[in-house]
Amino acid sequence: MSTREVATLFKEYFGHTPPHVVQAPGRLELIGNHTDYNQGLVLALAVDRYIFMAASPRPDGRIELVSSAFRNREGFATSTIEKNPAAPWANYVKGVLLQLQRRGVPLRGFNAAIHGTIPLGAGMSSSAALEVATALAVRRLTPYTLTPTSIATPPQADADGALPPLTARERLDIARLCQAAENEYVGVNCGLLDQISSLFGRALHAMEIDFQTLAVEPVPMLGDLAVVVCQTGVKHELVAGEYNALRRHCEAAARKLGAPALRALDMAALQAGRAKLTEREYACARHVVGEIQRVVSGARALREGDFEQFGQYMLQSHESSRDHFNNSCRELDILVDLARHHPACLGARLTGGGFGGATINLVRTPRAADFMEAMDDGYRKATGRSAHPLLCQVVDGAH
């Protein structure tokens, strides 16, 4: 449906049907909070909310962008890609274009229309999806094959003009390039979770991602399970500041304990080195080390179909974020408390960066509608706001 919407938007602005349409899904972190940049493990889902991008080449070396979510269109030459304070949303696109250019991809001019169904600020990674959509749209316009630092022989289209599907290696290199765009151009020192999830998603499966080896293993999510997102409607995060500070605490803790990353430590090693850390570093490390263990146990429970047990790990994960990592907030805690008291709920926790955004809830399917209604009512009573509950399907990655 929304590929049609983005094509309509494109036609409205640029006057013809777009030859290329790509889509990149948002992601949900099922469990594994702030473990990615600590070389840990995460169970993640790609879900049926997308950024769609429709594109066509233009001959004058200019790039013209329109978005259904923002009023200002944005235009610039491929030779002068710069930030425009009036269109900060375009930074995700520009960051990726600059990274592609830097690797040696010969950027040509194009028109693009962007339409999204990922709620903004809900912790479902609309920004990573926009980065990934940009990289895939450019690949359609100017086929390229990335290597970790440069480019290789471009892929050949078949007789119908279709490019070969991306290999796992290529998806990983695109994920890394998009992460570099966010780190260097947008200024958020994020890990690789969001970009990998958007590119590697698999319908009806969670992805178990190991950020030390970058292996991605599918874990079936079959059975009577529904995934529901509840939105706080608030974002307390101050630009990238809070996120980057948490990352610094984790990295300082690992460094002081002589470990390459917190992944290398278990609870006993952490306790033994506690005196070397500040209180805050210790609390952050404690969260991360415990959380990595919960992902290992959680993946086992999921593979065994023990959803009750998995739900318990989700609740423990939230408590650890709240009490040790301090990236929860009043609204997230209200949502998790409401959820855990509903009989259909197996587990609930904050998902993504924290400080607002959304919770992910694992719910028994037959009572999912009732759960969503109860969450909305309860959250309204507590805060005066709607929780805008979303039922999410687990889908394939970007293409």
Strand partners, 43: 31, 208
CB of 235 to ligand GLA, least distance (A): 13
Site string for ligand GLA, 346-365 (x = CB under 6 A): ------xx------------
Within the chain, residue ranges assigned H as helices are 2-14, 91-103, 126-141, 168-181, 193-200, 241-256, 267-272, 279-303, 307-320, 330-340, 368-383
Taking the least distance from each CB to ligand GLA, the nearer of 55 and 299 is 299
Which of positions 35-64 make contact with ligand GLA (CB under 6 A)? 36-37
Binding segment (CB under 6 A) for ligand GLA, from list 6-14, 130-138, 186-194, 358-366: 186-194
- Whether 194 is a known active-site residue: answer yes
List the Cα angle 380/385/390 in 5-degree steps. Answer: 90
- Counted residue by residue, the chain has a size of 399
C-alpha 231/C-alpha 121 separation (Å) is: 9
Q: How far is 29 from 52, CA to CA, in rounded Å?
A: 21
x/- mask, ligand GLA, residues 97-136, rule CB under 6 A, reads ----------------------------x-----------
- x/- mask, ligand GLA, residues 306-345, rule CB under 6 A, reads ----------------------------------------
Ramachandran category for residue 223: left, alpha or beta (phi over 0 → left; psi -120 to 50 → alpha): left
Name which of 163 and 315 has its Cβ closer to ligand GLA: 315
Q: How far is the CB of 185 from ligand GLA (least distance, A)?
A: 14
- Contact status: 18 vs ligand GLA (CB under 6 A): no
Q: How far is the CB of 2 from ligand GLA (least distance, A)?
A: 23
CB 351, CB 361: distance < 8 Å: no
Indicate the Cα dihedral angle 330, 331, 335, 337, nearest 10°.
10
β-partners of residue 102 are none
Least CB distance to ligand GLA at residue 117 (A): 18
Nearer to ligand GLA, 225 or 246 (CB): 246
Catalytic residue among 160, 194, 210, 376: 194
Asked if 133 contacts 119 with a C-beta cutoff of 8 angstroms, the reply is no
Q: Which residues bind ligand GLA (CB under 6 A)?
A: 29, 33-34, 36-37, 125, 190-191, 193-194, 352-353
